[in-house]
Structure 1
């Protein structure tokens, strides 16, 4: 039986989820419609197609999801691919492709491929988020002044949208056809920025984006603004276009399966990387269950394909809005889908009162919020190489697409990892009749020939001081070489001075896991004590 305190805590959680779901709806509405237009749907059907995908992403994927606070729907990568595939295959065959991609994702989750995406550099994640944030900001800024983003349907669309921002600002300032929309957008952003600072305690629970859109809607109605409003669909069922019986005859085409695999891969990558990002944003919910998330996304895409609407994946803009608005459980994700369904079926006239510019302003703010300047300052101070990965990922996402940006970031991260575990700098100096050898970096089997060559330069019977305090890692192959070299020096009446305790700290855990190797090295040196306990010791 629940105690009163538990009931009170649950009620607070429900309240937070309800308000967060309202904020996510405000983000989802323009994104859903805008990405449907990018994919090639007409202006009349784009709202219905995108919003149906949002309902499925909220309710179906939300119920099954392995990441409670991730919100799914139409996403950038899948929408761009959809535009190409619809052009080449047609709408009905593309619907079959979406079904197949969903089945592939379900199979990938069942085969437990999901956790691979946990091994991702934080710089890559933040670079991807910042790149997506810039893309959203650049495109929606044009929409906020009731203009069409000039990059739509063009190569390097993100760069084009960014480059043309001054023109959008000029239109919003100087042209009557755009000034009203720009003012409503600025009103929305102003409320979002000011409300948390000026809100009375009794009203602080109201989400700032919801209040901003509400005030902009009231102002547009009050002054009879001549602007664009949300194009709510009159007939929701007219937008549904399931695969035709003729399209199933193409299941034997290799090309169709390649398209399905590529769509499944892109949607899966976007979803799981977004889930990883959501985990870094909050500590309120358990970490993502990646295999379950893949299955959930697959189930959602099977249903999207069966209805002939846009494919879905985890969307970082919606998910970050959910986290920032205080969402606590998957209820916020599910409710956002429910509200969209109720709006487009029971209250389409309410949707038609909302200025498109106001919703775009919410996305302008959300896009900029994805750029974490504090993380940039941290990378600048602590790790310039990781900063390079961040910058390369960001620039590639903006200049090309999300998947290419991720590929570039992963490639650079792997190169950095390989360099870190293969770089070994060796210096040899003479001091007081003793050869001083400094090792810096990682002593692994890859650098074993270089390390052996450095030792072979020394004369027989040399007195050697080996400095290892700048080593970051040493593996058994190099450790075995040191032990053999010390034995050879002693046999030639030489001397080796080495901080064995410091060296021992680098491989202590490895020897615990590989006791047999430690025992072999101990016997080779004639030492009766375990290496992992006392370390190798210099010759007397």
Structure 2
């Protein structure tokens, strides 16, 4: 931990980094709120809580929390199933309590047991859903504009806004080119985050069209609509409160469990990624982070915010901006709070197509083709759970997708375990049967097949020198084989199969077959 003098000395760098993260987080908070179908204020509120509440309680030096694109699918589906945003907030509050409980139980380490293929499948599915759901918004469909009016084109899917399409296409081009080596040579690219550049372009084009050709400008319903807050007292009118009467609703608890699991996984994955890119390689305490995230989500659910996680996009921007401590995350939260009061007029000029383009680009990075190619190259044991997770998430929901992906991975692990602990090599009538590592009861089927394949009058070596554990059921099968071997004329030699440790099956003449121990 940094002492007070070190924190004071590094505060200017944290102030700069916090400002950069604020410029990245502002459009993301708005875009995630819009994609979730809730008021923009809910997204900003989660960003504020992530900076001020989680930032103060977290043990991570560089992680930044806020609303995450990975939870958009859960939010949309949850609000639809429960019927209202206040009911959904009850689930967020309960999810926060569950996360806090997981932190107290020191459950952070269990995330390491989730297969990588399942996690990648979950992220890829989220990316695909973001692309699918945000493409109509980027095209200006469903914005309430009538077909045939100025600036729209009638399509089989509805009236499409030409301005929204142009903004989305140029925004995607900006986002794609901003990260190239050629673009990094320009000072503007180095100091202006790509999401901010997209938002500034959208605002500039909106103002230009409003002045030159109002009929072609994005309509008001296709822009951010943040309520004006002239004072702290006005905040009470924009807060949403959880519906406590739904506390006993099983659907609320199921949704809360989904949010808690997915948000915890995303947080712990983000912590691991931040630790890798931290120049000082400072580790974070996962259980403390879960407790901090739990408190943050309880606050978000209590006053009307979206679910919160540690977000790698903001965290990496924080690291790249030279942050030294968690004060940068707190600064970014303070600036988001100030923007709610001071920048409402500017924020309301942002076209929703700009925010949709940011989320589509995020989806493309989550579901990039190279991820599918890498999974395919790693073999069926990785590729099948990856594909099963994606398909289950797209067809059902995130929690069911994760569960089915884990079940598929476990099934492959059991299959491999059943095949590999026992190997048989044969040369003419000489057979070597080797037991390796842990030979559990799951290997009984494989062992039975091998023993059945041994012909009469063969010479067999049973080698247990590489076995750390042999299940009693497996020993029973070996003992039974040894008992029947003389009648079949089979000569057996056992290596490091201790007769004292074998099962209660007794047979005459066993010791005469144990020539070498």
- Scaled by the length of structure 2, the TM-score of the pair is 0.74
Identify the residue that residue 291 of structure 1 maps to in structure 2.
287
Cα distance, 1:425 vs. partner? 8.6
Q: Tell me whether 1:417 sits opposite 2:408 in the alignment.
A: no
Cα distance, 1:336 vs. partner? 4.0
Contact 1:32–1:50 under 8 Å retained in 2:
yes
Contact 1:104–1:261 under 8 Å retained in 2:
no
Correspondence for 1:398 among 394, 397, 417: 394
Cα distance, 1:338 vs. partner? 2.9
Over residues 165-218 of structure 1, what are the superposed CA-to-partner deviations in whole Å (9 max), with x where a residue is unaligned? xxxx98799998511111111111212222342343534232223223222322
CA distance in 2, matches of 1:174, 1:459: 70
Identify the residue that residue 134 of structure 2 maps to in structure 1.
140
Q: How do 1:10-409 residues align onto structure 2 when only pairs under 5 Å count?
A: 15-16=16-17, 18-37=19-38, 46-65=39-58, 68-69=62-63, 71-73=65-67, 75-76=71-72, 78-80=74-76, 82-84=78-80, 86-87=82-83, 95=89, 98-148=92-142, 178-196=161-179, 197-203=182-188, 204-224=190-210, 225-227=216-218, 228-235=222-229, 236-242=235-241, 250=245, 255-256=248-249, 258-259=250-251, 261-279=253-271, 281-282=273-274, 283-285=276-278, 286=282, 289-307=285-303, 309-314=304-309, 318-320=311-313, 322-323=315-316, 326=319, 330-331=326-327, 333-409=329-405
SS at match of 1:403: helix
Cα RMSD for the two superposed structures: 4.5
Contact 1:460–1:494 under 8 Å retained in 2:
no
Q: Structure 2 vs 1, CA of residues 351 and 120 (structure 1 numbering), >3 Å: closer, same or farther?
A: same
Deviates more, 1:350-359 or 1:172-181: 172-181
Cα distance, 1:447 vs. partner? 1.9
5+ residue gaps in structure 2? 145-151, 211-215, 230-234, 503-513
Deviates more, 1:341-350 or 1:169-178: 169-178
Q: Structure 2 vs 1, CA of residues 194 and 447 (structure 1 numbering), >3 Å: closer, same or farther?
A: closer
SS at match of 1:232: coil
SS at match of 1:230: coil
Q: Structure 2 vs 1, CA of residues 64 and 93 (structure 1 numbering), >3 Å: closer, same or farther?
A: same
Over residues 300-337 of structure 1, what are the superposed CA-to-partner deviations in whole Å (9 max), with x where a residue is unaligned? 23222332x1441327xx53354267555645544443
CA distance in 1, matches of 2:37, 2:340: 16
Over residues 213-272 of structure 1, what are the superposed CA-to-partner deviations in whole Å (9 max), with x where a residue is unaligned? 2223222222325103211212443121335xxx76x59x7x24x455434322211112
Q: Structure 2 vs 1, CA of residues 459 and 385 (structure 1 numbering), >3 Å: closer, same or farther?
A: closer
CA distance in 1, matches of 2:159, 2:81: 39
Q: Structure 2 vs 1, CA of residues 468 and 271 (structure 1 numbering), >3 Å: closer, same or farther?
A: same
Contact 2:130–2:363 under 8 Å retained in 1:
yes
CA distance in 2, matches of 1:183, 1:172: 16
- Scaled by the length of structure 1, the TM-score of the pair is 0.71
Contact 2:15–2:331 under 8 Å retained in 1:
no
Identify the residue that residue 506 of structure 1 maps to in structure 2.
none
Deviates more, 1:335-344 or 1:63-72: 63-72
Q: Which has the higher helix share?
A: 1
Q: Structure 2 vs 1, CA of residues 313 and 465 (structure 1 numbering), >3 Å: closer, same or farther?
A: same
5+ residue gaps in structure 1? 38-45, 151-168, 501-516, 523-536
Contact 1:77–1:267 under 8 Å retained in 2:
no
Q: How many residues get paired?
A: 467
